[in-house]
Structure 1
């Protein structure tokens, strides 16, 4: 409250007055003098994200760096046919053509505009002649438009057999500006498609590798063999051969075209992200395309949540042993929906469906009638009932009713990936996971492996080997999209990212991103969270896991000369994980930072460079510095903490008689998250402790399986439990209550008295006084949370906040 706020306030004061008006104005610390303070960063338990879209990757900012990595190094593969999709520009085509030797004869052409049924050959010839074109390639002949018109009228050729000649060049002798202008004109006239015909012959690869220019970025597409798109005529890189070797275009798989007896290599380029096979259109890889919190990347159906709300028939029809007349449909048992129940019973009588038959004995046709209804009898069914409620969502009570009988299901369009189709088409070729103990010391290898392909959107690694390029790229485990990568465990992603090999130019592009990415992944692995998947929702983590994940966003960064304030980072951790956390915090200090830790854990006290103990007691008896020095000096001091460190004080076990269990609750076949189909018996009437290292599955078993399963049996509105087979013995208890680590107060007016319901009794006592009765005052008039009792000026807050333009806001 003092050091962090003052460090943050001084840092914000270094900004200009114009910038500060958009930031929070912090008050000065209540201290006489604070010297030597640096910009501060605080890591507390209150930083838990509240969004349902928050995952391990988003909270630690790993996902942000993955978006940058995929935008700069990713391939685009068609989701329909699996072929590579490449975008070219005139300049990248020039770099690709550098692989041809000087003196190679080339022709720049484009396919004519698509002809409709009303346009004949003579009309096409006239249109081209009007635009200044005089020669055209029809089949295997190069002729002028007049000759071609008669041929086209006699036997119309296939669309790919017609090319309009735009320019003839001799590579290395024709001016480069003229070549660029010809390519631009071809793209413009060919509606984004340009064709270059190069006279066939030996091609020298030079220093840049086979069939590409040195230092090219988007100039080459994936391998040109027929399996990866070469059959369609798109330009591409040669998949085989060592760097610096000579190669012939026969190995590239490009189509050949004989024109007047001369064989040419036909290379087709596109300036848009369009699949050459199925004509599907894709978006250019950019960071916002992979952001499921943005409309540019989020699935339009689920809006980036990965789930959609649907009717939960387990809540609507919880007891299949009941009949229609016995109250099987729970929403229709109240007075507000009695008309739906009457329509159901009337329609059942008309159709001859017994109303005293349990639902478990209904046929498929009868169940379908109950769900969909019968239009002839005016019965809309259960789905029709909820459709009627949807029309009244503007009412708060209706929204609450809908929430009670709905649950989350995976989105039918994105399958829970949260991203749109264009984002899932981008894949990052990665090496396979390294064997245990075989990790390279550096993040970027010096020599690129042959299994990492070259990106169409920036300079990356060497083209893939034939073994990789022969299989469909979308199915290759070495080229996952961003969602498939996030489904892997932290340790697996770290292993594959560390072994990613890049060329020097690609290293300049992605080195900073890789450093930040590896730093955060390594921290998570170091503190024992290597088993978590990156797409694991934050709300499913245990307390210890959550605290370490929040720490990773800060401790995994590369900031220096900062003051880090950590509030009890070891809370919820198993003793096995404390040593790892101490090492991570020590590494943060070794980078040149100051680390202030509010902590009771003995390992932190013994490894601290300096210990400050406040006391001597709590509350009014505290607030004084009772010790300040090194950890070694603390061991010789006579403070309360020192006595516990020297084992002068502490808990001593005393033999006690254990209570016997009054019964058991048996949970069978729990298999959520990392639980391995476990069956557990929980004794009743005793203190039962579920223990284990952090991440062993304690929260998954108790908080996310047992508790919601019991709540479902007691008809409570909670999220669905994790998968399990059966629950036995719940009839022995009357209710179930969850006490977790979530904050007790939800508003700024919450206090101990309101949370413990003490204030209710106080309000009731005041409302029963004679003066209160005389004035007609009830318990609500003594509540600062109601309009009748709250102060009209402050609204029950107890203070007024005065906004200042360039100064800190003032509370009075």
Structure 2
């Protein structure tokens, strides 16, 4: 049985005609932009989806029919892609996505008991599952609404020093947030009421107040009554809180803070749910156990007492799901872990877990970089899971660059030879041993010999004066560790998933650096660039550590896989900042001036946008939960009004520009320095194939990260900056990774420092210094198990990455 494809020609595909075996584990590889995604996702997957919908009686053209001549032998397809846009709702947690929370709620409703109760299997349950679910109005904690924490304004950060007078404190409260020249009479009268009541003077220092007077001064609010004799005074905190209700606190630095909810102690549930237990544990406690601990609990609970067949089935189902989570390398997570805090790789592995537990057959599964974020030692289990899916009667197609995955494939398809117009062909199909001998495949060349680019700088890792030192780090699972990070070098942080890498770098180093560098904010324009990575309601972890050596750098650039601007109408050109320049060029053309067009006329988000599709170029239609996009009938997908399309620059319309690749646009705007420099930087990173008008939501995590890095490099930071990159090789072939290493080397050569969170042995072997965390994940991690140069790490028996370094 096989899939037959005739003349696939979408995007850069060169009329591909081929056959693909079914019921095999197939790996599709090739350089970025070589046509892999166009063929696998945009052609095979979309056609498989169309066939399935047609079989259900839902006829809908989800693909342009001119993208291929014919495809035969397709089964329904399920694609699990790694995108920059995932579930951003903080109420969505691991337990809700996997449906384990629902199963737990039913078990507690059936077998839960209050303290002192004796379990009676014959007694009907008096509880409903809803009271055990934090997203249910019946179960959520009334104080925090089921979030487990509350966001509030930390007024203590803005109050005057304690050795100031109470008159100064009182005056500050009423003048906040902007000082006022005049003071209303009733304000001084209220302070007079307070001082008379406690026998004090306005010159009394705040620190000298008694406990009772201090509480009143801060928090007192007069009773709403007509009777006389009570104190007419408003506490300074009360006054400030009322003012904060009327302004945007996000605009006031450092005011917003989060803390665990005191009512539910962070368990998210109401009092009733937390009073009901199974095996002396309430449901909130189970949800905060990691996968391994929860598995042990339910194995014991299943054997400890008799259960009805229904409950036994539910427990076994939970154990099966937990086993799948362990299989995909997520054993360190707990059920309350919020989905927006997961990396792209973790999110995708969570989806893989749901398919592993589904147990269906005759499906074509398509996975995009499933090993992203996994340590070399963790890849074995996920490869086994793909073979298990295949053995169930499915076809597994994995788009992947990782050597260990390629080695274990039944069948390999390699696209290339290069990217964009130089790609779009299949350069190899067949088994692994023959693949290594392929002379046409760039991937095969790197698998035969992984050459590193030459370093044009001398590392200074042995210079103790030039380091960043983290002392006594206890954030999350870190075990009171000390870590010295050499500067003016490329430093790699490695370790198993959940070993503490992100806790050390993202949750400790970055916020500590951010705080230290703020002291220089008035002297430099760019202190911290993190693109507002997290949503405003994200819980920022408290960084429990000390930082030394921040004075050794001028600033810090954080480059992760997430993009702040997630709107579908945000495109590559707008993100890079070249779109304004391009619109200015069009607005200065003679025809544009004659029509009185401005820059806004050439914006698909403003006055120039098509009135039918509002500048999207397509119109969305929904069929149940499925959403499809049809080309706009008015503008034919061009996004602009007809009159705007009359204006041309070098015979191209503004819409034509959006259809250009980075490489084409770089050549087209060669005589415009600002545009050319930025686009040239992206080409250096091997991304010349992406389109100027490509939506940011269609970029992979690795592409998003390289786009951000290119933008930072295009700005040209002066001074000595620390560049922090979170798994920068996601989505990169060895060919593209080598280009990235050249760029990172240039940064160090120019006086900057680079810190990478990374798993790829090829990259780690190129680093000047490695810091390895472990030895395990979650509570079993959080320690420095090895540090030194790659050559030194190779010699250490305690290192887990050492054996893989080449």
**Greater RCO between the two (CA within 8 Å, min separation 6)?**
2
Which residue among 415, 426, 435 is the counterpart of 1:634?
A: 435
Q: In the alignment, which residue of structure 1 is the partner of 2:44?
A: 3
Q: Per-residue displacement from partner, 1:512-565 (whole Å, max 9, x unpaired)?
A: 434432222112223443333333333444555444334322223322322211
- Per the TM alignment, residue 55 of structure 1 is displaced from its structure 2 partner at its CA by 2.7
Please say if residues 616 and 624 of structure 1, whose CA atoms lie closer than 8 Å, have aligned partners that are also in contact. Answer: yes
Q: In the alignment, which residue of structure 2 is the partner of 1:218?
A: 122
d(CA) in 2 for partners of 1:573, 1:795: 41
d(CA) in 2 for partners of 1:58, 1:43: 18
Which residue among 373, 376, 387 is the counterpart of 2:242?
A: 387
d(CA) in 2 for partners of 1:734, 1:329: 34
Matched, 1:60 2:101: no
Q: Which blocks of at least 5 consecutive residues in structure 1 are unaligned?
A: 87-216, 220-270, 274-283, 430-478
Q: Per-residue displacement from partner, 1:2-26 (whole Å, max 9, x unpaired)?
A: 3223333333334356xx9xxx984
Please say if residues 620 and 630 of structure 2, whose CA atoms lie closer than 8 Å, have aligned partners that are also in contact. Answer: yes
- Per the TM alignment, residue 369 of structure 1 is displaced from its structure 2 partner at its CA by 6.2
- Per the TM alignment, residue 604 of structure 1 is displaced from its structure 2 partner at its CA by 1.1
- Per the TM alignment, residue 491 of structure 1 is displaced from its structure 2 partner at its CA by 1.4
* SS of aligned partner of 1:7: helix
The 5-angstrom pairing of residues 481-560 of structure 1 reads: 481-501=282-302, 506=307, 508-541=309-342, 544-560=345-361
Please say if residues 143 and 261 of structure 2, whose CA atoms lie closer than 8 Å, have aligned partners that are also in contact. Answer: yes
The 5-angstrom pairing of residues 468-487 of structure 1 reads: 479-487=280-288
* Range with greater deviation from structure 2 (645-654 or 690-699): 645-654
Matched, 1:689 2:492: yes
Which residue among 277, 294, 305 is the counterpart of 2:136?
A: 294
d(CA) in 1 for partners of 2:574, 2:344: 26
Please say if residues 347 and 374 of structure 1, whose CA atoms lie closer than 8 Å, have aligned partners that are also in contact. Answer: no
Which residue among 476, 482, 505 is the counterpart of 1:673?
A: 476
d(CA) in 2 for partners of 1:727, 1:342: 48
CA 776–332 in structure 1, closer or farther in 2 if over 3 Å, else same: farther
d(CA) in 1 for partners of 2:476, 2:618: 47
Q: In the alignment, which residue of structure 2 is the partner of 1:411?
A: 261
Q: In the alignment, which residue of structure 2 is the partner of 1:796?
A: 615
d(CA) in 2 for partners of 1:318, 1:576: 54
The 5-angstrom pairing of residues 366-381 of structure 1 reads: 368=215, 371-372=218-219, 380-381=235-236
* SS of aligned partner of 1:557: coil
Please say if residues 67 and 287 of structure 1, whose CA atoms lie closer than 8 Å, have aligned partners that are also in contact. Answer: yes
* SS of aligned partner of 1:611: strand
CA 808–779 in structure 1, closer or farther in 2 if over 3 Å, else same: closer
Q: Per-residue displacement from partner, 1:573-592 (whole Å, max 9, x unpaired)?
A: 22222222212222222222
Which residue among 784, 790, 794 is the counterpart of 2:604?
A: 784
Please say if residues 348 and 355 of structure 1, whose CA atoms lie closer than 8 Å, have aligned partners that are also in contact. Answer: no
d(CA) in 2 for partners of 1:362, 1:638: 83
d(CA) in 2 for partners of 1:773, 1:318: 57
Q: Per-residue displacement from partner, 1:141-174 (whole Å, max 9, x unpaired)?
A: xxxxxxxxxxxxxxxxxxxxxxxxxxxxxxxxxx
- Per the TM alignment, residue 386 of structure 1 is displaced from its structure 2 partner at its CA by 2.1
- Per the TM alignment, residue 294 of structure 1 is displaced from its structure 2 partner at its CA by 1.9
The 5-angstrom pairing of residues 280-359 of structure 1 reads: 284-313=126-155, 315-317=157-159, 335=178
d(CA) in 1 for partners of 2:185, 2:373: 54
CA 808–414 in structure 1, closer or farther in 2 if over 3 Å, else same: closer
d(CA) in 1 for partners of 2:172, 2:79: 51
d(CA) in 2 for partners of 1:668, 1:35: 61
d(CA) in 2 for partners of 1:304, 1:383: 26
d(CA) in 2 for partners of 1:768, 1:346: 63
Q: In the alignment, which residue of structure 1 is the partner of 2:54?
A: 13
The 5-angstrom pairing of residues 83-102 of structure 1 reads: 83-84=117-118
- Per the TM alignment, residue 327 of structure 1 is displaced from its structure 2 partner at its CA by 13
Please say if residues 42 and 566 of structure 1, whose CA atoms lie closer than 8 Å, have aligned partners that are also in contact. Answer: yes
Q: In the alignment, which residue of structure 2 is the partner of 1:589?
A: 390
Please say if residues 372 and 384 of structure 1, whose CA atoms lie closer than 8 Å, have aligned partners that are also in contact. Answer: no
Matched, 1:613 2:414: yes
CA 626–2 in structure 1, closer or farther in 2 if over 3 Å, else same: same
TM-score, normalised by the number of residues in structure 2: 0.59
- Per the TM alignment, residue 593 of structure 1 is displaced from its structure 2 partner at its CA by 1.8
* SS of aligned partner of 1:688: strand
- Per the TM alignment, residue 778 of structure 1 is displaced from its structure 2 partner at its CA by 5.5
d(CA) in 2 for partners of 1:304, 1:793: 41
CA 387–619 in structure 1, closer or farther in 2 if over 3 Å, else same: same
Q: Per-residue displacement from partner, 1:104-160 (whole Å, max 9, x unpaired)?
A: xxxxxxxxxxxxxxxxxxxxxxxxxxxxxxxxxxxxxxxxxxxxxxxxxxxxxxxxx
d(CA) in 1 for partners of 2:397, 2:52: 18
d(CA) in 2 for partners of 1:766, 1:356: 67
CA 487–326 in structure 1, closer or farther in 2 if over 3 Å, else same: closer
Which residue among 681, 705, 710 is the counterpart of 2:513?
A: 710
d(CA) in 2 for partners of 1:45, 1:340: 58
Q: In the alignment, which residue of structure 1 is the partner of 2:710?
A: none
Q: In the alignment, which residue of structure 2 is the partner of 1:252?
A: none
* Range with greater deviation from structure 2 (483-492 or 331-340): 331-340
The 5-angstrom pairing of residues 145-160 of structure 1 reads: none
Q: Per-residue displacement from partner, 1:457-487 (whole Å, max 9, x unpaired)?
A: xxxxxxxxxxxxxxxxxxxxxx322221222
- Per the TM alignment, residue 596 of structure 1 is displaced from its structure 2 partner at its CA by 0.8
Please say if residues 542 and 695 of structure 1, whose CA atoms lie closer than 8 Å, have aligned partners that are also in contact. Answer: no
TM-score, normalised by the number of residues in structure 1: 0.59
d(CA) in 1 for partners of 2:172, 2:378: 49
d(CA) in 1 for partners of 2:330, 2:421: 40
Q: Per-residue displacement from partner, 1:1-55 (whole Å, max 9, x unpaired)?
A: 23223333333334356xx9xxx98446643323332232222223733121233
d(CA) in 1 for partners of 2:547, 2:201: 33
Please say if residues 148 and 261 of structure 2, whose CA atoms lie closer than 8 Å, have aligned partners that are also in contact. Answer: yes
Which residue among 37, 41, 51 is the counterpart of 2:78?
A: 41
Q: Per-residue displacement from partner, 1:633-673 (whole Å, max 9, x unpaired)?
A: 32232232463365246326669521466744433322122
- Per the TM alignment, residue 619 of structure 1 is displaced from its structure 2 partner at its CA by 0.7
- Per the TM alignment, residue 416 of structure 1 is displaced from its structure 2 partner at its CA by 1.6
Please say if residues 173 and 240 of structure 2, whose CA atoms lie closer than 8 Å, have aligned partners that are also in contact. Answer: no
Please say if residues 176 and 240 of structure 2, whose CA atoms lie closer than 8 Å, have aligned partners that are also in contact. Answer: no
d(CA) in 2 for partners of 1:340, 1:31: 76
d(CA) in 2 for partners of 1:760, 1:385: 41
- Per the TM alignment, residue 760 of structure 1 is displaced from its structure 2 partner at its CA by 2.7
